[in-house]
């Protein structure tokens, strides 16, 4: 199963598109290998494996340092095709599973979030209603939301991207 999870991540699929995460449990005899893979590949290729491990064994998940989990999640934010896992920033804002996991890594995430604050590429969603709402999202908006939450600030999501860019610039300056 571990290699199938890595294959899904390598295809840049969201958790919602996974045929395995949330449907099957990572076998006990693959947990140590999963932790080793994540520690040695703290990037988007470990994304599905990280959540399968969290679903199977919280202690095994917690054995991965926050900085390693943050690197996997930041890489996923940068590389996934669709960002439904991250939640909504406008119209009934709600943090998704991936955003919650990233914020939980705390200040360990700030070094990998900082370059993402400059990433103005679209952050597409799949599904008709979600895709319509998410058309305004950019990857930098999600990075800003996570960094603001980690710094105990209330994230602001303005309808105008220029307003959002001013908030992002302020946060970048705060991070130094």
For 101-144, the pLDDT digits (tens) are: 999 999 999 999 999 999 999 999 888 666 566 668 899 999 99
Range of the domain at 12: 2-175
User: Per residue in 22-32, pLDDT tens?
Assistant: 888 999 999 99
Strand-pair partners of 95: 87
Whole-angstrom Cα distance, residue 72 to residue 88? 20
Residue 21 pLDDT: 92
* Residue reference for tokens 């590389």: 79
Instruction: Give residue 163's Cα distance to chain centre.
Output: 23
Q: Between the CA of residue 68 and those of 33, 43, 72, 105, what are the distances in Å?
A: 15, 9, 6, 9
Residue 36 has phi, psi (to 5 degrees) of -60, -45
With a cut of 90, say whether residue 159 has pLDDT above it. no
Counted domains in the chain: 1
């Amino acid at each position: 199963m571990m290699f199938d999870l890595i294959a899904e991540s390598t295809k840049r699929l969201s958790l919602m598109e996974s045929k395995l995460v949330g449907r099957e449990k990572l076998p006990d005899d693959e947990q140590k290998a999963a932790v080793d893979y994540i520690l040695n590949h703290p990037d988007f290729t470990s994304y599905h494996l990280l959540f399968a491990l969290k679903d199977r064994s919280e202690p095994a998940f917690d054995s991965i340092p926050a900085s390693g989990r943050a690197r996997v999640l930041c890489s996923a934010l940068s590389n996934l095709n669709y960002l439904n896992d991250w939640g909504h920033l406008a119209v009934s804002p709600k943090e998704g599973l991936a955003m919650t996991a990233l914020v939980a890594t705390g200040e360990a995430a700030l070094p990998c979030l900082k370059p993402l604050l400059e990433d103005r590429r679209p952050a597409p969603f799949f599904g008709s209603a979600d895709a319509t709402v998410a058309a305004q999202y950019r990857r930098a908006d999600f990075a800003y939301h996570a960094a603001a939450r980690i710094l105990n600030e209330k994230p602001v999501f303005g309808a105008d991207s220029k307003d959002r860019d001013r908030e992002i610039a302020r946060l970048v300056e705060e991070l130094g």
